[in-house]
A and B are shown apart, each in its own frame.
Chain A
Amino acid sequence: MQQPNKLKPFFENLNFERKDNTMVINFGPQHPSAHGQLRLVLELQGEQVVKAYPDIGYLHRGVEKMAENMIYNEFLPTTDRLDYIASTSNNYAFALAVERLLGIEDKVPRRAKVIRTMLLELNRIISHLFFLATHALDVGAMSIFLYAFREREFAMDLMEDYCGARLTHAAVRIGGVPLDLPPGWIESLANFLNKLPDQIKLYEDLLTENRIWKMRLEDVGVLEPEDALSWGCTGPMLRGSGIAYDVRKEEPYELYDELDFDIPVTDRKDSYGRYRLYMEEMKESIKILRQLISMYPKTEPKLMAHAPQYISAPKEEIMTQNYALMQHFVLVTQGMRPPKGTVYAPTESPKGELGFYIVSEGEPYAYRLKVRAPSFFHTGLLQDLLVGTYIADVVTIIGSTNIVFGEVDR
């Protein structure tokens, strides 16, 4: 009999010694390929997985609870800690949900929109490079990890030049962006974009036709479109199964309806197809960023929406006009009070559909905030996807789902 009140391995309801031929193994949560804090309990028949139980919650910090106890602006930096690989996409998804609730989505100045879209796409590149690096490392390709991380560093340098942070950006505000692009940033971005395609070509040369890479990825983790829909898969997981749905195209936000880009789709359904999608998506992001660079100079230098009831006035006005200062004081100390109502705002984060469901009761605190995190359902999917695969492929499949535990556990 186990004693659950002592600090020793405690496997809930698990019987490791079986009469039949299956073996139960525990994978994680400290496994280097567990992408953070995933614990998998696998039942094996020989080398084949018969049952898989994903066990999550090791990184649970109660973000949704915190959201109910923070004013809206206060919560924004907390969203950084969800998908910490691409923080700005979380900041933006939250800001968008609140803006829709306030009805000021159209009032966001154009320059802010350009900057936001730039940051979102830059974050997509950062996230996809991270995916490629860790996925390749999991599968066994060490050098790709180093190459991809080098480019990711340059992209993170750009983020650092903009907002001062490399991982937890908090680079977006409700109603706009806090800062204009620093001098020379556009040139650095253009420089980065000129170099990146060669690097992507290098990765593809190393991997796409690589015999070992193909053997490890092809026909591994085959996800049928029905399962993908039923499990609520989004992003590359859904498009890898042949269903073309991208929130950027179908329900455009920011400037995506003005931009010219394609949504890569494949009906390969396997890990290899998904890998190809990530590579293509990076190329599309480069295309988008190039268009945004030419859009930027044509915009007015305004950065925050004019909605005095909800958004503080620009600093100059606060320092010169009494009423702007009073409003700013109220907004900082008490917080904005959105109208009563419920909003669900979906966005296409690098991992899939990231949406914030906010119930407002007209108070400065959200009554309920639910984070619809793509990785949460991709983790749930593992219990179906892993069955029937071999133990050696488990790590490939986990890597291919691109789950980040910050947003799985929240």
Chain B
Amino acid sequence: MRRYSPKKNVQAKAKYTDRFWVAPRVPRGSVEEGSYFAEVLETLKESGIEVLESFVELGQLVIKINPEQNVETLKTLKEKSCVKMCSELSAVDYLAQDGEFEVFYQLLNLDKAQRLRVVTRIKEDQAIESVESIYKMANFAEREMYDMFGIYVNNHSYLKRILMPDDWVGHPLLKTYPLQGDEHASWYEVDKIFGKEYRDIIGPEIRDTATIDRYDTQRFARVGHEVPFGADPELVDKTKTSIEDGYSKTFLTDYTTGSKELENRR
């Protein structure tokens, strides 16, 4: 019987973890009185934005808000706290643990050289409002977020896949999506190039780079046993291969019989 493996997170896992290992946490500081960060929090409070949690992590202010208030928060920050640039915007997949995505907005105040991060959590099927009206960079960044996680962005001007092809199935950065790609990925190019009707003839694309097929005579999986392209290895007369003419002698090493056999052949 095969061993059960969880499907919710199929990314690489630590092969060994000490039973008593408790991962430490990066220290989280509180916001100092009178600092720029305190001002920002004060401004948000005045504008009626509910800040769920706020702390300073590695010199950057982290603000947790409700997903419904993301546009309002960013607008307030831009207009009242002089946060003129959004450096990055994307999501983190916490579906396996909490059934939620974490969407983050990495912001920068250029005048004070201070960085803030607005963080919000949305449910799996929940859409988030676009911030394109505030920062135009969200046009591309939200498209990428949609492409990679399948998070719908409301009122986006052109919500379309950006990095993956339009007709791709699945969202690659989800934790449920394997590194080598899923079933759809292995048929994608076959369908595209030859058509679905050729699936039986061509077979799925081998997407695991570590695969070695010892009966594959064309991809140098068995050095010294090459046959002409397309020929059936079983039918080729093994005593009369024309390899010796075409290939370098160094390729004639037979790993099954060792170098003695090579000497004999020479």
Contacts and interface: CB of A to CB of B under 8 A. Distances in A.
Contacts of B266: none
Nearest to A100: B58
Interface string A26-38: 0000000000000
Interface string A12-39: 1000000000000000000000000000
Contacts, number: 141
Contacts of B106: 344, 355, 357, 372
A231 B136 CA distance: 5
A340 B58 CA distance: 12
A377 to B, nearest CB: 5
Given A337-B23, A344-B106, A362-B24, A384 B136 contact: yes
A335 B14 CA distance: 9
A52 to B, nearest CB: 12
Interface residues of A, number: 61
A340 B161 CA distance: 32
B179 interface: yes
A227 B136 contact: yes
Contacts of B258: none
B140 A379 contact: yes
Interface string A382-410: 01100000000000000000000000011
Contact of A365 (B12, B24, B86): B12
Nearest to A409: B163
B162 A57 contact: yes
A224 to B, nearest CB: 12
B142 to A, nearest CB: 11
Nearest to A54: B140
Interface string B16-60: 100001011110000000000000000000000000000001101
A362 B93 CA distance: 16
Contacts of B193: 7
A370 interface: yes
Nearest to A250: B113
B84 interface: yes
A68 B140 CA distance: 22
Contact of A70 (B12, B21, B173): B12
Contacts of A243: 110
A365 B14 CA distance: 7
Interface stretch (B164-172, B218-226, B233-241, B243-251): B164-172
Contacts of A100: 58
Contacts of A367: 92
Contact of B113 (A57, A232, A251, A340): A251
Interface in B151-168: 161-167
Question: Which bucket holds chain B's interface residue count?
Answer: 35 or more
A4 B167 CA distance: 9
A341 B25 contact: yes
Contacts of A65: 172-173, 177, 179
Contact of B26 (A69, A234, A340, A368): A340
A357 B14 contact: no
7 closest A-B pairs by CB:
A362-B23, A341-B26, A380-B140, A232-B137, A250-B113, A57-B163, A69-B12
Given A343-B58, A344-B115, 10 more contacts: A7-B193, A68-B12, A100-B58, A229-B84, A232-B85, A250-B110, A335-B14, A340-B23, A346-B87, A355-B88
Interface of B: 11-16, 21, 23-26, 57-58, 60, 62, 84-88, 90, 92-93, 104, 106, 110, 113, 115, 117, 135-137, 139-141, 144, 148, 161-167, 172-173, 177, 179, 191-193, 195-196
19 contacts: A4-B167, A57-B162, A57-B164, A62-B179, A64-B173, A65-B172, A231-B136, A232-B86, A232-B88, A234-B87, A243-B110, A251-B113, A334-B16, A341-B26, A342-B57, A365-B11, A365-B12, A377-B140, A379-B140
